[in-house]
Structure 1
Amino acid sequence: MKKVYYLKTCSTCIRILKELNLSSEFILQDIKNEEITVEQLEQMKALSGSYESLFSKRSKLYKEMDLKNQKLEERDYKHYILEHYTFLSRPVIIVNDSIFIGNSKKTIEAVKGFIDS
């Protein structure tokens, strides 16, 4: 499976998608218009190892809800990601059994290297 979870209103996600120039084999899911299902999130967790690795601590809601001062556990991260799309670190790119999370330069370079190989 080749899939990208992204936000079409996020300029960073759009820039990354243009930069990667992905083939038509990739399924793009705008997480604002098509919510992440429990099954999809569980698949991402299986590939990444934890819900925390998928969770964005840079989300506005993270600060607004004062979550940084709470002790969050795996079930909390899962709950918040399913509750509101902004808690997913974006983009999440899945290529078969590999997952790439976030928009760091290192992550995007890793995606490029993986796709080109």
Structure 2
Amino acid sequence: MRKIYHLKTCSTCQRILKSLPQLDTFALQDIKTEPITVKQLEEMKELAGSYETLFSKRATLYKEMGLKNETLTESDYKRYILEHYTFLSRPVIIADGKIFVGNSTKTVEAAIKHLSHE
């Protein structure tokens, strides 16, 4: 499976998508207009190892809701990601059993390297 969960309105996501080789081989899902399902999130968690890995602590709502002052569990991370798309660290790139979460330079470079060697 090759899939990218992203936000169409996010300039960082768009810049990263343009940098990816073989983009035409991916199914793209704009998580604002097509929310992620429980099944999709569970599949991402299997590859990433935890819901916390998929959770964005940089989301505005994270601070607004006071979540940074709470101790969140895995089930909390899962629930918040499903409740609001902004809590998913974006983009999430899934390619051939590997997952790349977020927009750090290191993550994006690893995704590009993986896709370039196929």
TM-score range relative to shorter protein? over 0.9
State the shift of 1:25 in Å. 1.5
Give secondary structure in 2 for the equivalent of 1:24.
Answer: helix
Give the whole-Å Cα distance in 2 for the aligned partners of 1:97 and 1:19: 20
Deviations 1:15-48 (A, max 9, x none): 0001114332200000000000000000000000
Identity %: 66
State the shift of 1:67 in Å. 0.1
TM-score (norm. length: structure 2): 0.97
The alignment status of 1:29 with 2:26, answered yes or no, reads no
Q: Which amino acid aligns with 1:96?
A: D
Correspondence for 2:92: 92
1:97-116 aligned at under 5 Å gives the runs 97-116=97-116
1:61-72 aligned at under 5 Å gives the runs 61-72=61-72
Q: Hey, which bits of structure 1, 4+ residues long, moved more than 2 A? A: none
Give the whole-Å Cα distance in 2 for the aligned partners of 1:89 and 1:23: 20
TM-score (norm. length: structure 1): 0.98
Give the whole-Å Cα distance in 2 for the aligned partners of 1:15 and 1:9: 11
Give the whole-Å Cα distance in 2 for the aligned partners of 1:11 and 1:116: 23
Correspondence for 2:58: 58
Give the alignment's Cα RMSD to 1 decimal: 0.7
Give the whole-Å Cα distance in 1 for the aligned partners of 2:106 and 2:49: 19
Give the whole-Å Cα distance in 1 for the aligned partners of 2:23 and 2:63: 36
Report how many aligned residue pairs link the two structures. Answer: 117
Q: Any stretches of 5+ residues in structure 2 without a counterpart?
A: none
Correspondence for 2:44: 44
Q: Any stretches of 5+ residues in structure 1 without a counterpart?
A: none
Give the whole-Å Cα distance in 2 for the aligned partners of 1:36 and 1:58: 19
